[in-house]
Amino acid sequence: MNSRYLCLVYEEAKIDALPEREPAAIAIENLAYLAELEQSGHCVAAARLQPGETAATVRVRDGSVFISSDTGVETKERLAAFYLINAWDLNDAIRIAAKMPGARLGWIDVRPLEECDSG
């Protein structure tokens, strides 16, 4: 495994309408899959994100910093979690992402990282 990919997990608003027990079952399934990824050496980092309302948006224009709580996007989807994974190539990363429980409740955006050369 020589490439890293960021898997952004987007959930559709319909997740809020799931039966009461289903989100807990999905959380357990996520933890089990995360453990599997960690054991196989694929997972570098992963976390569930707090709701967008807790975020800050930072913009710098003409040397001035602007901070807002508005993400600038009004959608029925939300960025819910991320996984930073190691994979052989994009096809391997897609295979890994397809097994993420979040793929059934929305979608996974799989992006290769552009490694920075510090030398």
Sign, Cα dihedral of 27, 49, 79, 76? positive
Angle (CA) 7-102-98 rounded to 5° is 65
Domains annotated for the chain, with CATH where assigned, are 3-112 (3.30.70.1060)
Tell me the per-residue pLDDT of 1-17, one tens digit each, with 9 for 90 and over.
789 999 999 987 666 66
| Burial group, residue 63, by CB count within 10 angstroms (0-12, 13-18, 19+) | exposed
Q: Are 12 and 76 in contact (CB under 8 A)?
A: yes
Tell me the per-residue pLDDT of 38-79, one tens digit each, with 9 for 90 and over.
999 999 999 988 888 888 889 999 999 999 876 555 556 788
Q: Are 4 and 115 in contact (CB under 8 A)?
A: yes
| pTM across the whole model | 0.81
Q: Are 108 and 7 in contact (CB under 8 A)?
A: yes
